[in-house]
Amino acid sequence: LPPSAGPDGMAARILHRLRHALAGEGDREERVRGGSEAEDFPESSELEDDTEGLSTRLSGTLSFTSHDEEEEEEEEEEDGAGEELGEPPQPPGAAAGAEDGGRCWGLGLTPLPCAEWSPAAERPGSSLLTRQLQELWRKSRGSLAPQRLIFEVTSASVVSDRSSKYVLYTIYLIRSGRFDKAPAAIARRYSDFERLNRRLRCRFGCDMADVAFPRKRLRRNFTAETIAKRSRAFEQFLSHLHSIAEIRRSPEFLEFFFLQDLQAAQRLTCTGMYREALATWANAYRLQDRLGVCSSGRFLLTLAGLAVCHQELDELGEAHGCCEQALQLLEAQGSHPLLGPFLQAHVHLAWKVGKDKRHSEARLQDLREAGPPLHQQPTLKECLIKEPLE
């Protein structure tokens, strides 16, 4: 056999094919970057050449007004139109680092235990090849970009009101390898993405240096081609941001996703529109769950909103469950502005639904001995309404 047919050569070829499959999108991106289309359409130098596929996916969800005027400008693009805001992109997740511990990653970027390679070692003559592959994967896994959260533009609509015309993009947050019964979704326009990009570049200048952002345009903002290209650009933009640990934990990035929902849910709750508020609180809950921030103050406020709306709609079992989840998060905290209100609500709801309330009553007694009288504390609904959300 020639030298390349030995175990070393075979291991190298298999590793090359696997890495080539994973890096396929990056290769296509490089080919587009050098194309002549970049001069005619600035965004094309920043995106993978996937416009046709994305246009097909959005073909049933692209919505246009009857008076589509290509010369008309978007409201958010009136100032400084044509300004270049982005740099050529790097592969999404390139800055994420090796956070996968001792796991290997398959072609679908799904975490696989390294032990799944071991059955091949039982076959005669294959143990050397298996060990070599395991070693090569260990050395090269830092260059792979496992994607745990996928951002997908599912629809784009041209919206016209009295003073402006803009495109509204609906983005789903999808956990890779898992089935979500209810989607977590946001609807954002170009100016929302631009504001996020500007805030992050002010705070994370070095990390944002290689993050691409679609440039502003003077004309043709409402054509199907432009919308499809920008949809793909926003997917890549969010994926790249999420791959950088410091950015995905920052308030600027997180609040881009759920602050609007929290503000809208609070307004609906204050006006007594509990059914509408419940749906908005629930979407904010799912967004925070996908983003992995289920121990923050915003998440506790979300649980308070869900509990209040469920209780007002006479869904006492669901309200009780929300209080229990919040109290589990507050278990290790001796004091918190929402601890007393949650305990009082939990005791009341547990009595209503016939659940054990002794533990909450004991914690309430401890609060009485350590602080002001409970009758002076606000209820859960009062805390929810008075909480400033900016």
Please give, one letter per residue, the 3-state secondary structure of 288-312. Answer: HHHHCCCCCHHHHHHHHHHHHHHHH
**Neighbouring-strand partners of residue 329:** none
Q: Which domains, from first to last, does the chain contain? A: 149-249 (3.30.1520.10), 258-386 (1.25.40.10)
C-alpha span between 57 and 49 (Å, rounded) = 14
Q: Are 158 and 64 in contact (CB under 8 A)?
A: yes
pLDDT given for residue 222 in this prediction: 87
Name which of 247, 214, 203 is nearest 95 in CA terms: 247
Q: Are 62 and 155 in contact (CB under 8 A)?
A: yes
- The token pair at 252 is 């600027």
Provide the 8-state DSSP code for 90: P
Lay out the sheet containing 149-160: strands in order across: 62-63, 149-160, 165-175, 184-189
Beta strands in 27-77 (DSSP E): 62-63
In the block, which residue shows the tokens 């709801």? Answer: 349
Polymer length of the chain: 390
Q: Helix, strand or coil for residue 176?
A: coil
pLDDT given for residue 375 in this prediction: 60
pLDDT given for residue 69 in this prediction: 42
C-alpha span between 190 and 273 (Å, rounded) = 30
pLDDT given for residue 344 in this prediction: 93
Rg (Cα) of the chain, in Å, rounded? 26
Residues 6+ away with beta carbon under 8 Å from 292: none
**Neighbouring-strand partners of residue 174:** 150
Beta strands in 135-258 (DSSP E): 149-160, 165-175, 184-189
pTM above 0.75, yes or no: no
Q: Helix, strand or coil for residue 362?
A: helix
> Which stretch of DSSP H or E encloses residue 230?
helix 224-242
pLDDT given for residue 260 in this prediction: 95
C-alpha span between 307 and 341 (Å, rounded) = 11
Q: What is the dihedral of CA 112, 177, 247, 156, to 10 degrees?
A: 150
C-alpha span between 183 and 376 (Å, rounded) = 40
pLDDT given for residue 128 in this prediction: 56
pLDDT given for residue 24 in this prediction: 56
Residues of the chain with pLDDT under 70: 1-13, 15-16, 18-147, 334, 371-375
